[in-house]
Amino acid sequence: MKYFLRALSDASKSWPLLLGAFLCSAARNRIDTLTLQDKGDAAVLSSAEWLQPWLEKYLPRDPFQTVLLVVVLIVVSTFAKHCFLLTSTMLVSYVAMGISRDLRTKIFNKALELDRAQFMKQGSAGFMAQVTHTAEMLSNGITTVYGGAVTEPLKIIACLTGAFCISWQLTLACLTMAPVVGFLMVWLNRKMRSVSKNILSQALGFHHVMLEALNNVLTVQAYTMEPFERERFRQSTDHMMRIGLRHNFYRALANPITEVLGIGMVATSIAVGAWLVINQETQIFGVTMTERPMTVPGIMVFFGMLIGASDPVRKLSGVITGINVGIVGAQSLYPLLDTPSRLREKVEPRRLPSPHKEIRLQDVSFSYDGIDTVLNEVNVSIDFGERVAIVGPNGGGKSTLINLICRFYDPTAGKVLLDGVPLTDLAVEDLRRRIAIVTQQTELFNETILYNIRYGRWDATEEEIEEAARKARAHDFIADFPDGYRTKVGPNGFRLSGGQRQRIALARAFLRNAEILVLDEATSQIDAASEELIHEALARYVENRTVIMITHRPSTLALADSILHVEHGKVHKRPAASYQAA
């Protein structure tokens, strides 16, 4: 509940809009009262003795003019009522959607700032479910609260206060079923929250199943696993449907419970009140109900008050349902937003001059799960301008070494130092601006080739982009496309071959012109002829910059000055010449 209250507190910052919504809602209710469209107020007004003299005094004497006036008042009041209703609804919706927008932005920003381990704990499907489904749940909950949870209780209080003024004893007698209503609503609330949590959990699983199959659609088709994936998807949607039906059942159950019990209270008041009026008694079963016998107009006003209270009670059942959905959404969103990134920065991070002089790993150990050690007490240094190749068996920790240098993770023990300063003392943005990286799993955006290369340095000119593409031996195939550099590459570059994607990624890295170049099997999908040309470009490009390469290709190893051999968590450094001779 505390997280939902926090969301309401965030929404209350837009109090002028909420106040406007409340005033519009109050104006609409008053119009309902004056036009006898509200059940409770209609009963009160129609039975009030002062109503007839007021009408006789102010209505026209001519019958037809009276009819015309009533018709005009009905049309004008109906138009005004719906204007107020529309304004109130839109103001509340604006606040709720604004909160939803802000939450989605915060979730997206949180996903970008977490380290890789924290990100993978949620996964793309998890963040997608949070951004879409969960944020919508919370938005609906906020809309429900400010749309009805304020005005409806005020109606109930006003009507019950009026009933108490007429006869507090009779009012209490009619409220004998209130504890039953309260008990059933508490039970219903628990069921609604439980089902809402299941819906949220299944939504995450649904996104996971769908994205996993679609992202790996070539594998699914190649191994003829379409029937299997269809069955997985069907089971996921069937489960969501069953939980959705349970949710709708409990949601629909709220109205009958409150309405039946509310009618029970009104029926009790009618029976007791009628007996008191007909027999002109003040007591029933020896219990005093009124100080003096009630009149027919008086009991009608009392009935009107109770009926006026019963209608907002019925509406409140739907409000409570919406609040429960919002509570579940808040309980899922806010803990995620409160999760601190493990990549913490100093309040005043240090700034280092460029270029750097040395990268040093000092007694560095690392474990992904806290159990299996990937790197163990690594001590190694890389001087500025040095070209280092990292080799070793799969799973030995080569990529982990690069991830630590780029600070995608922090070491479990030890320090990674840049010119003697721990990376944790530097701003992450400042560190990564010094680095250009090309990975084996090339990541491209569903945008143009120009956009994807420019991602390396956003202020680059088109001439600089073309020059980077030429260095990466990508210009020729780009020029062959009808739209050239403005060719859309498709989701993750599926319209390009593997080699073309890697050359786009290389061009992006060249454009960045960073002092540290990291290549993780960056030419593994490029043909031999193109690779030779790229190595020629690399040989010129790597001058006056640090290059760290994960590779087993002899042509790439030839660029290296030294070799880091990574195996069983240990790192050994030796000159490239001795490694190649061995």
Which pLDDT tens digit goes with each residue over 295-327? 777 777 777 777 777 777 777 777 777 788 888
Which of 41-68 are b and which e, b meaning 16 or more Cβ less than 10 Å from the residue's Cβ?
Answer: bbbbbebeeeeeeeeeeeeeeeeeeeee
pLDDT for residue 503 is more than 80: yes
Q: Are residues 290 and 375 in the same domain?
A: no
Burial of 372 (C-beta count, 10 Å sphere; 0-12/13-18/19+): exposed
pLDDT for residue 469 is more than 80: yes
Q: Are residues 402 and 264 in the same domain?
A: no
> Could you tell me the pLDDT band of residue 47, with boundaries at 50, 70 and 90?
very low
Structure confidence at residue 134 (pLDDT): 82
Q: Are residues 209 and 240 in the same domain?
A: yes
pLDDT for residue 91 is more than 70: yes
CATH number of 415's domain: 3.40.50.300
Report the domain count for the chain. 2
Tell whether 68 is covered by a domain.
no
Q: Are residues 310 and 382 in the same domain?
A: no
Euclidean distance between CA atoms 467 and 132, whole angstroms? 41
Euclidean distance between CA atoms 378 and 393, whole angstroms? 17
Do 453 and 441 meet the contact criterion of CB atoms below 8 Å apart? no
Out of 3-7, 41-45, 443-447, 497-501, which region has the weakest mean confidence (pLDDT)?
Answer: 41-45
- pLDDT tens digits for range 357-395: 999 999 999 988 778 888 989 999 999 989 999 988 888
Q: Are residues 371 and 312 in the same domain?
A: no
Domain that holds residue 297: 2-14+102-337
Tell me how far CA of residue 557 lies from CA of 294, 390, 398, 552, 561, in angstroms.
103, 9, 15, 7, 9
pLDDT for residue 52 is more than 80: no
The pLDDT mean for the chain works out to: 82
Structure confidence at residue 42 (pLDDT): 46
Q: Are residues 374 and 311 in the same domain?
A: no
Q: Are residues 473 and 577 in the same domain?
A: yes
Tell whether 75 is covered by a domain.
no
Q: Are residues 175 and 306 in the same domain?
A: yes
Greatest distance between any 2 Cα atoms in the chain? 117
Last residue of a domain, one of 337, 371, 404: 337
Tell whether 314 is covered by a domain.
yes
Euclidean distance between CA atoms 398 and 578, whole angstroms? 20
Half-sphere CA count of 36, side-chain side, radius 13 A: 11
- Count the Cβ atoms, other than its own, within 10 Å of residue 73: 12
> Could you tell me the pLDDT band of residue 416, with boundaries at 50, 70 and 90?
very high
* Top-confidence residue, 152 or 501: 501
> Could you tell me the pLDDT band of residue 210, with boundaries at 50, 70 and 90?
confident
